[in-house]
A and B are shown apart, each in its own frame.
Chain A
Amino acid sequence: MATKKITIDPVTRVEGHLKITVEVNDGKVTDAYSSGTLWRGIEVILKGRDPRDAGQITQRICGVCPMAHGTASILCLDDAFKVEVPDNGRIIRNLMLGANHLQSHILHFYHLAALDYVTGPAIPPFVPRYQGDFRLPPRVNDAYVAHYLQALEMRKKAHEMLAIWGGRMPPQTAMVVGGVTCVPTVDKIAAFLWRLREIRAFVNDVYIPDVLGVADAYADYKKIGAGYGNLLAYGGFPLDSQNKTKLFKAGRFTKDRVLDFDVNSVTEDVKYSRYKSANTGKKPSEGMTEPDAEKEGSYSWLKAPRYEGQPYEVGPLARMWVNGDYRQGISVIDRHAARALEAKKIADAMEEWVLQLKPGQPACAESKLPDSAEGAGLTEGARGALGHWIKIVNKKIDNYQAVVPTTWNCSPRDDKDVRGPVEEALCGTRIVDTDNPLEVVRIVRSFDPCIACAVHLIEPSGEMKKFRVI
């Protein structure tokens, strides 16, 4: 039987420009390609600027997860400036990052992923849509549509929580080297806490039950979209001023074992990426981003990050797995379930943190711009492990690099022709109707791709591209 090629471009309901192509033989996916189709060159733009500006500019890598980039960038600057952040500053940063995780997870399930399982009303933007495998009975389906609307208000409130400290969102302006610009006061703590309680109730009473409902109706998706089964987390949400303990620990899972994570084992290949091949296989701190748009064989603006040469999946499932909080399985449904349960874990922790704030006490330590320095900032964005690296020479940015979650997940093949995690997760999947390839988009969206991030931050030297999902 002839090979049928399905190209999905644009893959909608993700952030950014993604294209996915799959080859189908005898009804099964036999090969897959993931492509980012926008490159802006943020790392190039950062070069030569005042290092402190990176905390603002890198938030513009992505309007959905500016807080994650802001956090990685500021941690990177704290490291380079050698400054210790006071507890108030650390806690407020955690509260802002946590608020954006809640916003992002709710947005992902209801507004990006749900329309793969639920049919909306017959008006744009809910039509046109793929036809076929929608399984929820009408009354249940209608309840999900009502929750879609309720979730719009909840994610908005999560941004209000963030803005109480951050000034506005997206992006916040309060994070600076050494802490945050705002000083905690009792009225802000209360305004934050009561919004948090409302969102916790939504997560517990609506979001988690809704994910379980989809898991029941689409139970076969617990066996679909597994991929390599390699999971990686950098760790995030520091619980002390020395960053010794974190809400999520760093680590990785491969071949049935949880192992340590060493940042020096991360490299990036570019054989199939639209960058000059001379820069392949480098550590992020040494990486370069020189575009080569017409490079033969290249099909993505994303690089291919690897750990000890192996592809790894990152995100809420990886974090929860490494941390021992969720080990049910690796699949489309498990990604949604781990994300929802993580929202609860983070919201519960935030209620403790906000009450640890010391009203009126400083939230920022003073610091001095070094003549020359290097720094690294590793954290966990809503979509997974995120790292920024900076090199400062003569008080200016000499090199800036970022390796972002979607670069890990949606990477193209590496120098050894090994597929990226999303590509691998697609392979072997049975496609019922190639004109309505719901299986493909369900798998891709379970990873919550964020292409602006992936292309904008992926390269230290400053160029970016867009992805497409076929």
Chain B
Amino acid sequence: MELTRREFLKLCSASAVGMGLSQMAVPKLVHALEEAAAKKPPVIWLQGANCTGCLVSLLNTAHPTIAEVLTRIVSLEYQSNVMAASGELAFSYLDTIAEKAKGEFFLLMEGAIPTKDNGIYCTIGEKDGKEVTVLDMVKQIGPKAKAIVAVGDCASFGGIPAGKPNPTDCQPISKIISGVPIINIQGCPPHPDWLLGTIVHVLLFGIPELDKLGRPKLFFGETVHQNCPNYSYFSEGKFAKKFGDPGCLINLGCKGPMANSDCPLRKWNSGVNWCIGAGSICIGCCSEDFPDGKAPFYAALPKDQWPKADTEIV
């Protein structure tokens, strides 16, 4: 009735295009990765106060494809949107795998963690007839992880559910768990390359170099503004007055100077476009203070906060 693993892998290779993250498309590295992933490190993906946008963004990965991620890079042991099991069968497996793979599994956290009223605003399953909060589950299995990857703004810094007035007192996972390495992959949602590139880096070379906020410098080292194709408009002082006009979009609310990501170079959805490429502003979702620090999104950045033309890049 069911395919063997070997048959399934064959099927995946047939249906998928070649493998290789844009950061590391060298065959030798791919080989090294397959060696490193031969044991397929177990991954537990938990969701708290989330919207599932981070998972959907990951599904959009171009190279490797998501099928290859699941079959060749990691063993996705628990992920409630895609796993076959339901209910008790699924939820008890979470305990089993966290114990069995203690110190070896990676915890990928999507969503913030409500802490108000002991976290009752988010329960993720039932055990012994009682609802279990994501707060309790994170405290229980977080310390057993080899490393934690906070996927997206909510898990990294609080994000949307922690926006004023933060009705459920949502916190990032770094405020709940200590003693385990935590990598913050910001973005609302993150680009799939940022998440997979980080996982591949961990498997091949260990934890990538992080900035003060726990973000990999590889992806978040420069501002959107620094690499923006409208940068020359900004330098020349040519500013769009309405959407659809050519020019720098800073007066329409663009937060590119206050956001850290490589979006202008990497682009999204297999590289077809990105926010500013669609004539839109950058709303600054790649920053630790999104959304409140970037709102109102469509209000011009005050001139005293503008970067200096041509002298800002260092």
Neighbour of B243 across the interface among A49, A138, A181, CB < 8 A: A181
B283 at the A interface (CB under 8 A)? yes
Distance in Å from the Cβ of B210 to the closest Cβ of chain A? 25
Contacts known (A40-B49, A52-B297, A119-B2); A124 close to B75, Cβ less than 8 A: yes
Neighbour of B189 across the interface among A63, A164, A466, CB < 8 A: A63
Q: Is the CB of A293 within 8 A of B120?
A: yes
* A314 neighbours in B (Cβ, 8 Å): none
In the complex, residue of chain A having the shortest beta-carbon distance to the beta carbon of B263 = A168
Q: Is the CB of A181 within 8 A of B295?
A: no
Q: Is the CB of B86 within 8 A of A130?
A: yes
Q: Is the CB of A167 within 8 A of B167?
A: no
Counting chain B residues whose Cβ lies within 8 A of the other chain, the interface size class is: 35 or more
User: In whole angstroms, how far apart are the Cα atoms of A363 and B243 in the complex?
Assistant: 9
* B15 neighbours in A (Cβ, 8 Å): 146, 149-150, 153
User: In whole angstroms, how far apart are the Cα atoms of A463 and B3 in the complex?
Assistant: 45
Contacts known (A123-B8, A125-B77); A173 close to B280, Cβ less than 8 A: yes
Neighbour of B131 across the interface among A9, A66, A111, A126, CB < 8 A: A9
Distance in Å from the Cβ of A369 to the closest Cβ of chain B? 9
Q: Is the CB of A10 within 8 A of B278?
A: no
B178 at the A interface (CB under 8 A)? no
User: In whole angstroms, how far apart are the Cα atoms of A11 and B84 in the complex?
Assistant: 10
Q: Name B41-55 residues within 8 Å CB distance of A.
A: 47, 49-55
In the complex, residue of chain A having the shortest beta-carbon distance to the beta carbon of B164 = A45
Neighbour of B51 across the interface among A60, A123, A301, CB < 8 A: A60
Interface-lining segment among B22-30, B60-68, B218-226, B228-236: B60-68
* A155 neighbours in B (Cβ, 8 Å): 59
B33 at the A interface (CB under 8 A)? no
* B82 neighbours in A (Cβ, 8 Å): 12-13, 111, 125
In the complex, residue of chain B having the shortest beta-carbon distance to the beta carbon of A63 = B53
Q: Is the CB of B53 within 8 A of A66?
A: yes
* A149 neighbours in B (Cβ, 8 Å): 11-12, 15-16, 67
Interface-lining segment among B196-204, B266-274, B302-310: B266-274
* B67 neighbours in A (Cβ, 8 Å): 149, 152
Counting chain A residues whose Cβ lies within 8 A of the other chain, the interface size class is: 35 or more
Among B2, B78, B79, B274, chain A packs the most CB atoms within 10 A around the CB of: B2
B163 at the A interface (CB under 8 A)? yes
* A40 neighbours in B (Cβ, 8 Å): 49, 114, 121, 160-161, 167-168, 170
In the complex, residue of chain B having the shortest beta-carbon distance to the beta carbon of A141 = B1
B76 at the A interface (CB under 8 A)? yes
Distance in Å from the Cβ of B13 to the closest Cβ of chain A? 10
Q: Is the CB of A366 within 8 A of B126?
A: no
User: In whole angstroms, how far apart are the Cα atoms of A24 and B59 in the complex?
Assistant: 37
Q: Is the CB of B298 within 8 A of A153?
A: no
Q: Name A109-153 residues within 8 Å CB distance of B.
A: 111-112, 115, 119-130, 134, 138, 141-142, 145-146, 149-150, 152-153
User: In whole angstroms, how far apart are the Cα atoms of A449 and B257 in the complex?
Assistant: 39
User: In whole angstroms, how far apart are the Cα atoms of A112 and B76 in the complex?
Assistant: 16
Q: Is the CB of B3 within 8 A of A8?
A: no
A176 at the B interface (CB under 8 A)? yes
B141 at the A interface (CB under 8 A)? no
Q: Name B259-289 residues within 8 Å CB distance of A.
A: 268-270, 272-281, 283
Contacts known (A45-B164, A64-B52); A19 close to B126, Cβ less than 8 A: yes
Q: Is the CB of A163 within 8 A of B76?
A: no
Q: Is the CB of B242 within 8 A of A121?
A: no
Neighbour of B80 across the interface among A12, A53, A293, CB < 8 A: A12
Distance in Å from the Cβ of A254 to the closest Cβ of chain B? 32
Q: Name A157-180 residues within 8 Å CB distance of B.
A: 159-160, 162-174, 176, 179-180
Q: Is the CB of A173 within 8 A of B278?
A: yes
* A160 neighbours in B (Cβ, 8 Å): 269-270, 272
User: In whole angstroms, how far apart are the Cα atoms of A155 and B1 in the complex?
Assistant: 27
A41 at the B interface (CB under 8 A)? yes
User: In whole angstroms, how far apart are the Cα atoms of A50 and B242 in the complex?
Assistant: 18
B145 at the A interface (CB under 8 A)? no
* B188 neighbours in A (Cβ, 8 Å): 60
Q: Name B165-185 residues within 8 Å CB distance of A.
A: 165-168, 170
Distance in Å from the Cβ of A188 to the closest Cβ of chain B? 9
Q: Is the CB of B274 within 8 A of A168?
A: yes
Q: Is the CB of A167 within 8 A of B297?
A: no
Distance in Å from the Cβ of B265 to the closest Cβ of chain A? 14
B81 at the A interface (CB under 8 A)? yes
User: In whole angstroms, how far apart are the Cα atoms of A466 and B52 in the complex?
Assistant: 12
Distance in Å from the Cβ of A139 to the closest Cβ of chain B? 11
A431 at the B interface (CB under 8 A)? no
B216 at the A interface (CB under 8 A)? no
B81-106 vs A, CB cutoff 8 Å, 1 = contact: the mask equals: 11111111111010000000000000
Contacts known (A17-B122, A37-B131); A123 close to B81, Cβ less than 8 A: no
Q: Is the CB of A176 within 8 A of B83?
A: no
A422 at the B interface (CB under 8 A)? no
* B32 neighbours in A (Cβ, 8 Å): none
User: In whole angstroms, how far apart are the Cα atoms of A169 and B274 in the complex?
Assistant: 9
Q: Is the CB of B5 within 8 A of A122?
A: yes
User: In whole angstroms, how far apart are the Cα atoms of A52 and B50 in the complex?
Assistant: 22
Q: Is the CB of A152 within 8 A of B65?
A: yes
A452 at the B interface (CB under 8 A)? yes
Q: Is the CB of B283 within 8 A of A10?
A: no
Q: Is the CB of A12 within 8 A of B81?
A: yes
A468 at the B interface (CB under 8 A)? yes
* A7 neighbours in B (Cβ, 8 Å): 87-88, 126, 129
Q: Is the CB of B57 within 8 A of A124?
A: no
A16 at the B interface (CB under 8 A)? yes
* A169 neighbours in B (Cβ, 8 Å): 60, 268-269
Q: Is the CB of A152 within 8 A of B85?
A: no
User: In whole angstroms, how far apart are the Cα atoms of A57 and B164 in the complex?
Assistant: 12
Contacts known (A152-B67, A456-B51); A125 close to B87, Cβ less than 8 A: no
Q: Is the CB of B167 within 8 A of A45?
A: yes
Q: Is the CB of A10 within 8 A of B124?
A: yes
Distance in Å from the Cβ of A74 to the closest Cβ of chain B? 13
In the complex, residue of chain A having the shortest beta-carbon distance to the beta carbon of B278 = A167
User: In whole angstroms, how far apart are the Cα atoms of A295 and B174 in the complex?
Assistant: 32
B313 at the A interface (CB under 8 A)? no
Contacts known (A13-B81, A149-B67); A364 close to B243, Cβ less than 8 A: yes
B-binding residues in A (CB < 8 A) = 6-17, 19, 37-42, 44-45, 48-50, 52-53, 56-57, 60-64, 66, 107, 111-112, 115, 119-130, 134, 138, 141-142, 145-146, 149-150, 152-153, 155-156, 159-160, 162-174, 176, 179-183, 191, 291, 293, 301, 362-364, 366, 437, 441, 452, 456, 462-463, 465-466, 468-470
| A-B contact list, 13 entries, CB within 8 Å | A10-B80, A39-B168, A107-B59, A112-B81, A124-B77, A125-B84, A128-B90, A141-B2, A165-B278, A167-B277, A169-B268, A174-B278, A452-B52
* Additional A-B contacts beyond A17-B123, A62-B52, A122-B5 (16; CB < 8 A): A7-B87, A12-B83, A12-B87, A13-B81, A17-B122, A40-B160, A60-B51, A121-B7, A124-B77, A128-B84, A130-B86, A130-B89, A138-B1, A146-B11, A156-B62, A463-B167
